[in-house]
Amino acid sequence: MKRVMLTSGAEAKIELCDGIILKSRAPKRYRLKEIDERLRRERTKIEAKLIAEARKSGVPTPIIYDVMNCEIQMEYIDGVQLKHVLDANLSERIGELVGLLHTAGIIHGDLTTSNMILAGERIYLIDFGLAYFDQSIEARGVDVHVLFQTFESTHGGHETLIEAFTRGYRKTFKDADDVLQRVKEIESRGRYRTERL
């Protein structure tokens, strides 16, 4: 079967093979073999686990078919990235999904509108490569902060989008107000005061 390369980043490559997504982490020659193998194996395992856990908590994610050493086989989601179609209505639904995710104790770690796919009626969250389990207000705050930054940098009318997100987030997550308060605080901190890449 032919493998078609979809993306190749610094960390992993995504290929499409017979309607199945293959995500694999490439070895890095610069680091010690022991470190390299440990990281790639651990990160692959954790990512697969988090994708499955998120799905259990009610957030649409690709179905995991198999996890090899450093490769995840999963469902291909055929749809459009939210960055191309985002509006207030969709932003509210993102809020609901992130609320469910945070209720389950999961931090996505890279919430951008490129990592969300609208397929039919459902919004899927993809790329859990930087995700981890954490129940702290701080981790959740940073998670939401990253998303707000994307709204600001790539979408017009970000205030409306943030407002809509907030509505959805409050619906599904009981500690939403604490986290949103922390987001404001994070924004005012020195290290975020000046713009980062």
Partner 1 sequence: MRRKSKSILGIEGTAWNLSAAIVDQSRVIASAESSYRPMEGGLHPRAAAQHHATHMEQVIHDVLTKGKKNNAKISAVAFSIGPGFGPCLRTVATAARALSLSMNVPLIGVNHCIAHIEIGRWLCNVADPVILYVSGANSQVLSYRDGKYRIFGETLDIGIGNALDKFGRYAGLLHPGGPKIEEIARKAKCYMPLPYVVKGMDFSFSGLTTAAKDALAHAPLGDVCHSFQETAFAMLVEVTERALAHTGKKDILLVGGVGANSRLMEMLNTMCQDRSAKFFAPDKAYMKDNGAMIAYTGLLMLESGAVLSVENSAVRPNYRPDEVEVTWR
- Asked whether the beta carbons of 57 and 106 are under 8 A apart, the reply is yes
Is the CB of 116 or the CB of 164 nearer to partner 1?
A: 116
Q: Which of 110, 134, 143, 178 is catalytic?
A: 110
- Alpha-carbon distance of 19 to 76, in angstroms, equals 6
Least distance (Å) from partner 1 to the CB of residue 196? 6
What x/- string results for residues 156 through 195 when contact with partner 1 is judged by CB under 8 A?
A: ----------------------------------xx--xx
What residue type is 90 in one-letter code? L
Is the CB of 5 or the CB of 197 nearer to partner 1?
A: 197
Is the CB of 52 or the CB of 130 nearer to partner 1?
A: 130
Least distance (Å) from partner 1 to the CB of residue 134? 10
Give catalytic status of residue 134 as yes or no.
no
Q: How far is CA 41 from CA 17, 25, 34, 47, 85, in A?
A: 21, 9, 11, 10, 35
Residues that bind partner 1 (CB under 8 A): 9-11, 28-32, 34-35, 38-39, 109-110, 130, 142, 146, 190-191, 194-197
Q: Give catalytic residues, as residue numbers.
A: 110
